[in-house]
Homo-oligomer: A and B are copies of this chain.
């Protein structure tokens, strides 16, 4: 198929459509935007639609944003590139829900370098979403750039129920190890570059469940995987009487399990490990990793609805279904 180039290099505007349809340019806007309180005859509507289709009209988003004061862009600031396996399905669903409501989701990871201008300066987002509270300078910068809403709301306390912590996951991890008879647990995560705020939130969720089960709090242990096999960390745990490791994700679980195997330990007899995500690596690893699978698609849909509530004032669907995570017990627990 040959690429259809416009004969004139000029882009098609609403005025072109109006001329083609024989109406005013305002009418074109009313029809195409389905503006309420405008009664347009069916014949006119038809003609406008046909003309727009014929000419391949796409509204200029910059002009629309300038005139309406809304860009219909939602910016999601991620703590890290979405390397997490399940995050993909999650973001796909969020994106889909927003798209249906006429919004576009843009994901964005801050550069480590200070010099780079944050994306909200050039994007004119209606709403900026973070996975943790934004710093005061960030909030000030967003407001100066015309961002209309920020989540988490800087004026209100942080609402962890809509974060990416997926607290049901860590809770199930703890429950599982508890059921298997483990009482002394530790929470393991990597040091940078992994998402700090998500680590903190999931660790907190694990601790909450541990307390409810009458277990002592889980220490948060950050491992630098770049320093090679962290043999001594595992030794320390054994010396301290730890028998179960709750890992932030499957990569962390793999690091711990790999180290333990090389140290000659038998899993889960000497040490039980449970990951999070059920990423491909969990099944491939030798021994295969016990883990927890989150219905991220359902949570993504739910978060999408929440975002529309924030940006459009739509009512939140109630009752909100809390998607239950699934335990995937394999060889490490």
**Interface residue ranges, A against B (CB under 8 Å):** 1-6, 11-12, 56-58, 60-63, 65-66, 71-73, 80-83, 85, 87-88, 91-92, 95-96, 99-100, 104, 106-109, 111-113, 115-117, 119, 121-124, 136-137, 139-141, 143-146, 154, 190, 193, 225-226, 228-229, 251, 254-255, 258-259, 261-262, 280-281, 283-286
Contact = CB atoms under 8 A, between A and B. Distances in A.
B3 A154 contact: yes
A95 B116 contact: yes
Given A73-B123, A82-B82, A258 B280 contact: no
A146 B9 CA distance: 10
Q: How many copies does the complex hold?
A: 2
A258 B287 CA distance: 9
A2 B255 contact: no
A104 B122 contact: yes
B285 A258 contact: yes
A6 B143 contact: yes
Nearest to A83: B83
A259 B283 CA distance: 10
B100 A115 contact: yes
B144 A12 contact: yes
B96 A113 contact: yes
A67 to B, nearest CB: 9
A176 B232 CA distance: 33
26 contacts: A1-B136, A3-B143, A11-B144, A56-B140, A58-B144, A58-B146, A61-B123, A61-B145, A62-B71, A73-B122, A81-B82, A81-B88, A83-B85, A95-B111, A95-B116, A96-B113, A96-B116, A99-B116, A104-B117, A104-B121, A104-B122, A106-B123, A228-B283, A258-B284, A261-B286, A285-B285
Given A66-B66, A81-B82, 6 more contacts: A62-B66, A80-B88, A96-B111, A225-B283, A228-B283, A285-B285
